[in-house]
């Protein structure tokens, strides 16, 4: 189940530089949009226990 996560600071910058979609492996820089403060909103990917395991691009999040 995908929920929206809000990242800022170093976490947002890491996602833009090294992150990717857990489902299709597209680099995050192709689908993440920064706001004017450098923060991002992305869809989280969770395991069966509800732990955040990664992030999903909008296309893959819509399919889950």
Residue 39's pLDDT is 93
Each residue's pLDDT tens digit, 4-41: 999 999 999 999 999 999 999 999 999 999 999 889 99
Residue 3 pLDDT grade (very low, low, confident, very high; cuts 50, 70, 90): confident
Q: Report the predicted TM-score, pTM, of the whole model to 2 decimal places.
A: 0.84
**Contact status, residue 9 vs residue 27, Cβ threshold 8 Å:** no
Q: Residue 44 has which token pair?
A: 């989280």
Residue 28's pLDDT is 96
Q: 29 to each of 6, 25, 47, 50, how far by Cα in Å?
A: 16, 12, 24, 26
Average pLDDT over residues 39-53: 94
Ordered DSSP codes for the chain: --EEEEE-HHHHHHHHHH-BBTTT--BGGGT--B-TTS-EEEEEEE-TTS-EEEEE-HHHHHH-
């Amino acid at each position: 189940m995908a929920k929206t996560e809000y990242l800022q600071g170093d976490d947002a910058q890491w996602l833009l530089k090294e992150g990717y979609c857990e489902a299709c492996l597209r680099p995050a820089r192709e689908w993440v949009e920064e706001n004017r403060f450098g923060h991002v909103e992305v869809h989280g990917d969770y395991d069966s226990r509800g732990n955040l395991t990664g992030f999903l691009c909008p296309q893959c999040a819509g399919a889950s």
